């Protein structure tokens, strides 16, 4: 019985993922999903509380990876320890940062970036950018107190720009059908742009 339930649940998730990819969250209906898995709408609600719960279950692996990735966390914490002479170290630090997520969570990230309008998670990306900008602001203020950075007001809006660039790179990878090798190649070409964005930040505060 449990095996059958698990099978039906996986079928629902498989069909729902495709429906969300094709139609987006708003235009996807639980009734259509039920029809395609030969089930009743009510039976789907026995597995998932509502459409948001179903959507989140699908994108959850990507969200957990973003929020729990130690390398991404270390990168955020270490950025302001670089200086102009050691900027090349940043390239090593972020190698495969973009492609790692795209290779492993392409469908989930696509839904999160491009198909989440109307869901509880439609502002997730914007919130993530703001969280990172706040985190970077605190790091600069710490460096100012230590006398390492110049005194002055820190502009969180300006600190959003490198994060937005990183997300644009990820979006470009998501929107194109690429092999793993193509993804890695594009990432190598994009990393210098990302680093240049941070060099501009360093020039202001260091």
Q: Is the dihedral of CA 59, 156, 199, 83 positive or negative?
A: negative
Q: Between these two residues, 119 and 146, which has the higher pLDDT value?
A: 119
The whole-number pLDDT of residue 201 equals 82
Measured between alpha carbons, how far is 15 from 180 in angstroms, rounded to an integer? 25
| pLDDT tens track for 156-204 | 888 898 889 989 988 988 888 788 888 888 888 888 888 888 888 888 8
- Answer for the pair 184, 97: CB distance below 8 angstroms, yes or no: no
| pLDDT tens track for 78-112 | 777 766 556 666 666 676 677 778 888 999 999 99
CB atoms within 10 A of CB 136: 23
The chain-wide mean pLDDT, for the chain, equals 86
pTM of the model: 0.87
């Amino acid at each position: 019985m449990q095996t059958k339930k698990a099978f039906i649940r996986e079928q629902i998730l498989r069909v729902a993922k495709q429906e969300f990819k094709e139609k987006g969250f708003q235009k996807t209906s639980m009734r259509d999903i039920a029809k395609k898995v030969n089930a009743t709408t009510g039976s789907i609600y026995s597995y998932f509380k509502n459409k948001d719960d179903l959507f989140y279950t699908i994108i959850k692996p990507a969200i957990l990876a973003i929020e729990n990735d130690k390398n991404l966390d270390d990168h955020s914490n270490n950025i302001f320890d670089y200086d102009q002479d050691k900027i090349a170290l940043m390239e090593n630090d972020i190698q495969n940062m973009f492609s790692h997520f795209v290779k492993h969570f392409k469908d989930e990230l696509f839904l999160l970036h491009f198909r989440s309008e109307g869901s509880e998670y439609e502002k997730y990306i914007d919130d993530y950018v703001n969280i990172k900008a706040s985190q970077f602001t605190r790091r600069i203020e710490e460096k100012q107190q230590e006398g390492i950075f110049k005194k002055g007001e820190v502009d969180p809006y300006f600190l959003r720009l490198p994060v937005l660039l990183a997300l644009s790179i990820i979006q470009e990878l998501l929107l194109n059908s690429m092999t793993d090798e193509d993804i890695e190649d594009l990432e190598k070409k994009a990393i210098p742009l990302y680093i240049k964005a941070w060099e501009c930040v360093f020039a202001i505060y260091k």
